[in-house]
Amino acid sequence: MGKKREKQWKVPVTPAERRLALILDRHGYSYKQAHPIKVKRCVYYADFYFPDAFMVIEVDGRHHGEEWKKRRDDHRSRCIRGHGLVVRRLWNREVYCPGKRLKDLLDEIDQRILSVRDRQLVDFTFVTEID
């Protein structure tokens, strides 16, 4: 993948991702968008990667409800979890109409960051940038 294409991946791709980025920024979270995660010979781009929480958040539109897409998303999540990362998925509507699910997710990010810091695993990194 060329530098020009990589640069395009650095910004939120969907309006729902842009909105979630604003919410996360407002809460002061440190995260990376479209972060590459290498699994064997595949590279997955996580919508949001939280290095301090070893967590990935994926924002899914309604097309992710199709059966073939669900299977692909499940496989992708299993591969990412295999690297010790927690994977959480949000539907677009949960970003636009924030409720208990989004609040619970933000609370989980806080808890995981504290847990990782308490165990002093901050310097342990599962994911590396791909040049």
Domain boundaries, the chain: 3-98+105-118
CA–CA dist 88, 90 (Å, integer)? 7
Lowest mean pLDDT among 9-18, 90-99, 119-128: 119-128
Over residues 35-58, the pLDDT tens digits come to 888 877 778 888 999 998 999 999
Other Cβ atoms within 10 Å of 21 Cβ, number? 19
Q: Which secondary structure element, helix H or strand E, spans residue 33, and what is its range?
A: strand 32-39
Confirm or reject CATH 3.40.960.10 for domain 3-98+105-118, answering yes or no: yes
Residue 97 DSSP symbol:
S
pLDDT band at 1 (very low <50, low <70, confident <90, very high): very low
CB 18 within 8 A of CB 47: no
Cα 120 to its chain centre, rounded Å, is 22
CA–CA dist 120, 94 (Å, integer)? 32
